[in-house]
Structure 1
Amino acid sequence: MNSNDFCKNIPNLVSSFVDTFIDFTVAGIFLPDPPFPPFSQTTYPPPDRLIVVGDLHGDLSKTQQALRLTGLIDAGDRWSGGAATLVQVGDVLDRGGEELKIVYFLEKLKRQAVKDGGNVITMNENHEILNVDRNFYSTDPYWLEEFRNWA
């Protein structure tokens, strides 16, 4: 499969991954006991502490470093933010080659945070939307390779 054919299939691969991930998660295979708010929730009560991060661009170690600096995760990468709310405003995709790991990591933190009275909210931004629209102008080959390996 050449790069152009692979790029044309990225939206289907991402969609397939997300569908499978959600199915397995809801079934309790990946992340058991998820007591988190409904998917349609668009408003939240004001948190005692709010931390907003964006543009993670596939760099898991920098993501973890940022969350450690804010006190949201401990040295073992588990939620330690108590009742704080983390909002990840998008741009997980396209650069660092660990996008899927970050998606999984944020989902894991979401479940841990809710159990501790906190919250993790994730959003899509232009890089996610561009990929769904098959626009890969800023897509790094590492990102493509991660999805190719997953597929």
Structure 2
Amino acid sequence: MKRAPNRTPNIHFFDDKIRSSYVAKFSTDTASNVSNHSPRRIVAVGDLHGDYEQTLKVLKMAKILDANESPDCLKIYELFDRLRQEAKEVDGQVINLIGNHEIMNLILNWIYVTPEDIRSFGGVQNRIHQFSSEGYIGNLLLNTFQIASIVENDTLFVHGGIDLKWAKKGIENINSLGKELVNKTTKML
């Protein structure tokens, strides 16, 4: 467990062994006494990197899904969109957070994009279109993704962490600014 710097009291960072993913638990408890008092189970998954098979393995391991299909970045977005809708039906919730890879795709920084991934979209132009404001993924990013989310009234989820000066702006402002950025960027594609 990593403690936050002294300038941010009452925030404890837990490295959950998922690369670059951190959960900040807001609590007045000491770090050694922090526990999850929520009656609901929270599963955090981070940095899927377009690897559909690994995504399925993680979701199976978390007992969220029982499936086995081939890798495809687009399928990951479709899967989480479906899971988000299914979760609502059973009073659950799937929260999708915008991370660095979404932003990289929006600015056409494809250093992590494989030729197979481009082919799975049907080519470069189709992939760009999918991330645009008129495309499926662009619409998901605009309408269902967030920069930050508080779950169960006391647990903040963000991708990769959040700087104190941004945290002071509040969740609504952070998400509003993030949505504005995504909106402008998807319209440029």
Higher relative contact order (CA 8 A, sep 6+): 1
Q: 1:60 aligns with which of 49, 52, 55?
A: 52
- Confirm or deny: 8 A CA contact 1:110 1:120 kept in the other structure: yes
Question: Per residue, is there more strand in 1 or in 2?
Answer: 2
Partner of 2:41: 49
RMSD: 2.5
* 1:106 to 1:100, Cα distance in 2 relative to 1, 3 A: same
| Alignment deviations for residues 8-44 of structure 1 (CA, whole Å, 9 cap, x no partner) | xxxxxxxxxxxxxxxxxxxxxxxxxxxxxxxxxxxxx
* 1:107 to 1:52, Cα distance in 2 relative to 1, 3 A: same
- Confirm or deny: 8 A CA contact 2:56 2:67 kept in the other structure: no
User: Any gaps of 5 or more consecutive residues in structure 1?
Assistant: 1-45, 78-95
Pairs aligned (count): 87
* 1:47 to 1:140, Cα distance in 2 relative to 1, 3 A: farther
User: Any gaps of 5 or more consecutive residues in structure 2?
Assistant: 1-37, 127-189
CA distance in 1, matches of 2:108, 2:53: 27
- Confirm or deny: 8 A CA contact 1:97 1:145 kept in the other structure: no
- Confirm or deny: 8 A CA contact 1:97 1:142 kept in the other structure: no
Amino acid of the structure 1 residue aligned with 2:40? D
Q: Does 1:147 align with 2:121?
A: yes
Partner of 2:22: none
Partner of 1:127: 101
- Structure 1 runs of 4+ aligned residues shifted over 4 Å read none
What pairs with 1:24-43 in structure 2 (closer than 5 Å)? none
| Alignment deviations for residues 81-103 of structure 1 (CA, whole Å, 9 cap, x no partner) | xxxxxxxxxxxxxxx96111111
Larger Rg: 1 or 2? 2
Q: 1:110 aligns with which of 84, 88, 91?
A: 84
- Confirm or deny: 8 A CA contact 2:53 2:71 kept in the other structure: no
SS in 2 for 1:134: coil
CA distance in 2, matches of 1:52, 1:142: 27
* 1:76 to 1:139, Cα distance in 2 relative to 1, 3 A: closer
